[in-house]
Amino acid sequence: VGPNDSPERHAADTVAAGDGLCDEPAVSVLVDDGPRYVRELIEWGARFDRDPEGRLDLAIEGAHSVRRVLHARDATGREIGRVLAGRIVGVESVTVIDHALAVGLIVEDGRVVGSTFVGQDGRFAEVRARATLLATGGAGQIFRETTNPDVATGDGVALAWMAGAQVVDLEFVQFHPTALAVPGAPRYLLSEALRGEGARLINRDGEAFMARYDPMADLAPRDRVARAIVLESERTGAPVYLTLQGLSPEVVRARFPAITELCARVGLDLATDRLPVGPAAHYLMGGVATDLDGRTSVPGLYAAGEVACTGVHGANRLASNSLLEGLVFGGRAGLAMRESEPTGGLPDAAPARSRSASGRSNRAALPLTEEALRDLAWRNLGVFRDDALLSAALEVLDPAAEVAAGMARDASLSDPSMWRLMSLVTVAQLVARAALRREESRGAHSRTDFPLRDDLHWKRRLFDAQT
Ligand SMILES: Cc1cc2nc3c(=O)[nH]c(=O)nc-3n(C[C@H](O)[C@H](O)[C@H](O)COP(=O)(O)OP(=O)(O)OC[C@H]3O[C@@H](n4cnc5c(N)ncnc54)[C@H](O)[C@@H]3O)c2cc1C
């Protein structure tokens, strides 16, 4: 929406960050439809930050060639969520069932006809519908180090996989370079917008080292900054820091109040302290394969947002394209679902029917704990990978995923932590499989045994599905 910006320029930045693997028709949809959806959001009441003249205040983040990122201080997603949640209230045809955990998709004659879930009361229920949309977000929780909330367990990917849907690009996990790395504290995200405003990465000697690793220095794409941080930290044997010491403390605190508050929780001052940072799993570029209208490979099943993979991000997402992707492709999926064929007399959505859960937990059946799984994923599927690490991970994950699939078919467990672990195991296995198959380095996928990008063999996307 900026005066010196255009869809073409936004597309060029998106494709450059995606390292040769973006689906270009999907990118065109994103950048062409994007402004319309953003304007609609503003009409619905979204309050993005403005400059003193009342013009939208645009931020710049890594790998963007111009200032283009709308923001609501440093909690943009929350503002978008506030507006969208507010729109739902009062729409008569929408019934909201809060805190329900979707645990299965109902497949009949090769078509998804609804979903099973465990309600807040611990009872199983099902909803039948002629179109079902997965919007369960990402899977950062498979890694020990992550910026993602607790609920980002990849459930939608696991559910779709078990229902026979295609998944794609799962080797591409974005590791955000600057999660706050204070031992024992959560990995709070120190947004890229900080570097956009002039924050610098420094080593223990105070040297701004990024230019030694990358011509774009601190504003290089996330994958390259994340790798540089790991290498610099290994070289010096010490942590790497983010510093905002060159900026006005008042401006920093006014522009980034939420991050200021997060730093204060661990005794650090965002504006004046050196902040220890390191990479953490942040975003899943891959996911359930969809077309440009959210359709998966299984009739009746749609997906949008981080759980879906339209191909728009390629091998590495351009910062802030995710919320836009959710808006644009979520909107398109909604329209497509409305037009979907009524089949077999199914209503748009039938009221939920419920039954008691068995109360069994089967905890002993899965051969690893959540903690062990997240540790394994971080060590073996993290920023740098190779054949030995990935194969070793699969030796643990393959049998565990088989047990998880059996338990999911049983579908009578009432213990939410078991469903969570089953999703984590399933998605971790899919990530490891994909990462082992792709014998090159591209975007966020870095193989130390295949350090170069290899367009001849690998300029293609890897789809996977259960046979
Ligand atoms: C700290 C942080 C900062 C970010 N900043 C930016 C940014 O500035 N710009 C940007 O573009 N992107 C940003 N991202 C990425 C972006 O926020 C996400 O990609 C985006 O929110 C995904 O939206 P979604 O609707 O697909 O999923 P989510 O917003 O994650 O929502 C998924 C929902 O599904 C629910 N759910 C999950 N599993 C189940 C289940 N089995 N049953 C029922 N419900 C379930 C979850 O509870 C959650 O409410 C950031 C991410 C993080 C973690």
**Ligand 1 geometric centre to CA of 87 (Å):** 18
Tens of each residue's pLDDT in the chain, 467 residues = 998 999 999 999 999 999 999 999 999 999 999 999 999 999 999 999 999 999 999 988 888 999 999 999 888 999 999 999 999 988 998 899 999 999 999 999 999 999 999 998 888 899 999 999 999 999 999 999 999 999 999 999 999 999 999 999 999 999 999 999 999 899 999 988 899 899 999 999 999 999 999 999 999 888 999 999 999 999 999 999 999 999 999 999 999 999 999 999 999 999 999 999 999 999 999 999 999 999 999 999 999 999 999 999 999 999 999 999 999 999 999 999 998 876 655 666 666 666 665 555 555 578 899 999 999 999 999 999 999 999 999 999 999 999 988 887 766 666 778 889 999 999 999 999 999 999 999 999 999 999 999 999 999 999 999 97
Half-sphere exposure of 417 (CA within 13 A, CB side): 9
**Ligand 1 geometric centre to CA of 138 (Å):** 6
pLDDT of residue 297: 98
pLDDT of residue 409: 76
pLDDT of residue 76: 92
What is the model's pTM?
Answer: 0.94
| CA 307 to ligand 1: nearest atom | 26
**Ligand 1 geometric centre to CA of 364 (Å):** 31
Q: Which residues contact 445 (CB under 8 A, 6 or more apart)?
A: 171, 172, 173, 315, 385, 435, 438
pLDDT of residue 342: 66
Q: Is the CB of 85 under 6 A from ligand 1?
A: no
Catalytic residue chosen out of the listed positions 130, 222, 374, 385: 222
| CA 81 to ligand 1: nearest atom | 29
CA 58 to chain centre: 23
Q: Which residue has the tokens 């073996």?
A: 380
Task: Look at ligand 1, atom 3, and give the residue with the nearest C-alpha.
Answer: 189
Structure token digits, residue 133: 């949309």
* Strand arrangement of the beta sheet that strand 101-108 belongs to: 101-108, 111-118, 124-128, 353-355
Q: Is the CB of 320 under 6 A from ligand 1?
A: yes
Pocket test for ligand 1, best of 68, 151, 175, 415 (most atoms within 8 A of CB): 151
pLDDT of residue 350: 64
Q: Which residues contact 261 (CB under 8 A, 6 or more apart)?
A: none
Q: What is d(CA 119, CA 351) in angstroms, rounded to the nearest whole number?
A: 14
pLDDT of residue 358: 54
pLDDT of residue 417: 82
**Ligand 1 geometric centre to CA of 130 (Å):** 25
Q: Is the CB of 221 under 6 A from ligand 1?
A: no
| CA 149 to ligand 1: nearest atom | 53
